[in-house]
Amino acid sequence: MDHSQSVGMKMTKFEGGLEIKNLNSVEAIEAEIKVLQSKLEFYKELEKTKSPVEEAFKNWMGVYPPTNPSVDNIFDIRWRAFQKGYDAAYEEKVSEWKPTSQTPDQVEEGKSVCSQKWECLETGFITNPENLTKYQKARGIDTLKRKRIS
């Protein structure tokens, strides 16, 4: 017999070891509901926040990686191997990338293209060549229907 029972005190034990004293059954259920609701909110928030490696794993496998590690679970082994490969590839990609410097001719060419003004022959819209292409494609206009105006 538990000591709390011997002195007439009522103890209610919940999942996770939480114990609440002196509750009738309605109060005990309401307290348990509060505990479970807070757990639910925590797990919902946890599901929302996924790392890039977890997103990549989902794209590859179709599901997010396991959250509870298991030694004999093949899915967990795949996840751990995927993580190592992802990290190695990321490090390699980051270490390989080097910005390339432009020659003065390339800089001048870029300036001259960006300063050009072109007009859509169908609507009369005037902008630079890149934005005119986007504008015409978005409206289903043939991108050859243009003329340079400056």
pLDDT tens track for 115-143: 889 999 999 999 988 889 999 999 999 99
Domain span holding position 141: 111-148
144 occurs within a structural domain: yes
6 occurs within a structural domain: yes
In the prediction, which pLDDT does 16 show?
A: 58
In the prediction, which pLDDT does 9 show?
A: 47
Tell me how far CA of residue 66 lies from CA of 54, 61, 79, in angstroms.
10, 12, 8
Q: Does one domain contain both 59 and 22?
A: no
How many domains is the chain built from? Answer: 3
In the prediction, which pLDDT does 124 show?
A: 94
Torsion of CA 87, 58, 67, 53, to 10 degrees: 20
43 occurs within a structural domain: yes
In the prediction, which pLDDT does 71 show?
A: 58
Whole-structure pTM over 0.75, yes or no?
no
Q: Does one domain contain both 33 and 61?
A: no
Ranges of residues in the chain whose predicted pLDDT is under 50: 1-9
Q: Does one domain contain both 64 and 30?
A: no
In the prediction, which pLDDT does 15 show?
A: 60
Provide the CA 8 distance to its chain's centre, in angstroms: 53
Q: Does one domain contain both 62 and 23?
A: no
100 occurs within a structural domain: no
